[in-house]
Amino acid sequence: VQLVESGGGSVQPGESLTLSCTAFGVTGSRVCMGWFRQAPGKEIEGVAAVYRGGGDPYYANSVKGRFTVSQDNAKDTVYLQIDNLKPEDTAMYYCAAAGWVRAWLDQRDYIHWGQGTQVTVS
């Protein structure tokens, strides 16, 4: 199993980025793909999640309205679009995979993690 993120970078406030996460070898009848981020010196924070194959995504209150999750099932890829980027969005962004989750953004439910992609807003 491997999750590979891409799409991070250094941007200015107000710009947008789309992060990608491609899952290799993640199987199961029910797979939840989550996006998490960790800013320097802070705890990891869940920002969004979606069950693979359909259903409405779930967003943390802190990112609603600016973050959008989408997926391309044919490519086993989940995307996280971030609009109107702010300096406080600066963090390493990780995607993760779980089966059924007790809570959408409880990191303890997520078994597989990617290596992360850095987003810097300044």
User: What's the pLDDT score for residue 115?
Assistant: 96
pLDDT in tens, the chain (122 residues): 899 999 999 999 999 999 999 999 888 878 999 999 999 999 999 999 999 887 899 999 999 999 999 999 889 999 999 999 999 999 999 999 998 888 899 999 999 999 999 999 99
- Count how many Cα atoms sit within 13 Å of the Cα of residue 101 in the half-sphere of its side chain: 23
What's at 59, amino acid-wise?
A: Y
Q: Which of 46, 44, 43 is nearest to 32 (CA)?
A: 46
Beta bridge partners of 52: none
Q: What are phi and psi of 80, to 5 degrees?
A: -130, 110
